[in-house]
Amino acid sequence: MKNYEANTLEDTKQVAKAIAKDIGPGSFFALDGDLGAGKTTLVQLICNELGVTEYVNSPTFTIVNEYETGKIKINHIDFYRVRHVDELMEIGMDQYFNETEVTFIEWANLFEEILPEGIIKIGIERTDEGRRISVG
């Protein structure tokens, strides 16, 4: 597990760069942290590093946002407003767990039973100085 301290936006950009350099097709990430911890911001910065040129916003209400880089498709999913695992199955959640795309899931801890094997967990914790980001 790697631990990072991100006390500024610039620090968070450096964390995003470090995470992005190891991302390839079939990478799955589970992001957990309190409301306002910075989950969406981190995904935005990672997507920018991967070549997404459009604005990356929170999928809280849409549940899934998809982005293309020209090289890879990125899925950004948010489980926060989902009340039952059946809702996820109805929208075809399993289609996002494949070996050709990159998938980020915010609030992944709410439905751990459907997460693919090998998912990389990213925990974000707010501290007095900024944020502590754990990857592993």
Q: Does residue 33 surpass a pLDDT of 90?
A: yes
Q: What are the start-end ranges of the H helices in the chain? A: 9-20, 39-50, 85-90
| H or E stretch covering 75 | strand 73-78
What is the average pLDDT score of the chain?
94
Q: What is the pLDDT of residue 76?
A: 98
Q: What is the pLDDT of residue 50?
A: 96
Q: What is the pLDDT of residue 123?
A: 95
Which DSSP state fits 98? S
Q: What is the pLDDT of residue 108?
A: 95
Amino acid identity of residue 94, one-letter, is: D
Strand 28-32's sheet: what is its strand order? 2-6, 131-135, 120-126, 28-32, 102-106, 73-78, 64-68
| Rg (the chain; Cα; Å) | 14
Q: What is the mean pLDDT of residues 23-38?
A: 94
Please, what sign has the CA dihedral across residues 28, 72, 124, 62?
negative
Q: Kindly report the pTM of this predicted structure.
A: 0.93
Please write the tens of the pLDDT for every residue from 54-109.
999 999 999 999 999 989 999 999 999 999 999 998 989 989 999 999 999 999 99
Which structural domains are found in the chain, ordered by start?
Answer: 2-7+12-94+101-135 (3.40.50.300)
Q: What is the pLDDT of residue 37?
A: 92
Please, what sign has the CA dihedral across residues 74, 8, 78, 32?
positive
Q: How far apart are CA 44 and CA 125, in angstroms?
A: 17
Q: What is the pLDDT of residue 81?
A: 94
3 state DSSP class of 56: coil
